[in-house]
Structure 1
């Protein structure tokens, strides 16, 4: 893993563990609200390649009312190069998980799932518009969609990737 000084400025701004961690936190919270369960570990690796990819994010509906599989059938182009994007973001995802574990913001439960913990954080809900707010909303939709699915393997299959 490259040190932060060696990373391009754009990567440091967009893919920093704090921002990515907030995307994870919002997805995990929605998942927990829908299922009453903690987020299965493999699903965390799908959040960033969906939410951070502008074309995919822009095509996503504004609410979670539409089912994920229906939306994917209507927008098959979002799966183009998805496996490559997901693979490229694995190091960022792992770095973010480590960051959140060190902050005591998440923990791994006895089933290996990711559990949100209560922790003090700066209130960042003031972001109501713009690209950051849009990323937050889409991360919540992803958490909701994932929560409506029964199996991790089904979600991976829908996106055309393997864990």
Structure 2
């Protein structure tokens, strides 16, 4: 069964349920701590490229790109490829992105609250600034390592683009 939010886009109800009520695999992938760590990694890489923090709105681009294996596997390994070029080469990613992004709004908000509450990120004038705080040792796991590596790549890559352009290329609105 799916629900239809006011936007008219369908999404899986498991993502909207309370964290404890989610199926184990959904709870693991959409864990607020994992999303906080991903966003902190991306914000840190973004800030290294430009002096300002990462725009808050980009959180809703980073997480769907990094957490979806098919999308993550199609991402370039370098930031030398322009976002527009990558999107043109991956039309299926663009076609499915709006639904994935909409489905992840609630988990991303939970991850952001977790990051702010635990002082992993700071919100300054609609930008996310990573705190110079050591994150706990993340358990070694190939998929987790891949997600965080992609988070760093996305932070650097998205810093090269205007936020409005990123949203337009992805086919979504902030």
**TM-score normalised by length of structure 1:** 0.90
Alignment map for 1:8-87 (pairs within 5 Å):
8-87=23-102
The answer to whether residue 170 in structure 2 is matched with residue 159 in structure 1 is: yes
Tell me the distance in 2 between the aligned counterparts of 1:136 and 1:121. 13
Aligned residues: 159
Aligned residue for 1:91, secondary structure, equals helix
Give the deviation of 1:3 after TM superposition.
Answer: 2.8
**TM-score normalised by length of structure 2:** 0.85
Q: CA RMSD in A?
A: 1.5
Q: Which runs of 5+ in 1 are unaligned?
A: none
Alignment map for 1:129-140 (pairs within 5 Å):
130-140=142-152
Give the deviation of 1:23 after TM superposition.
Answer: 0.9
Give the deviation of 1:89 after TM superposition.
Answer: 0.2
Q: Which runs of 5+ in 2 are unaligned?
A: 1-15
Give the deviation of 1:22 after TM superposition.
Answer: 1.2
Aligned residue for 1:119, secondary structure, equals coil
Tell me the distance in 1 between the aligned counterparts of 2:63 and 2:105. 9
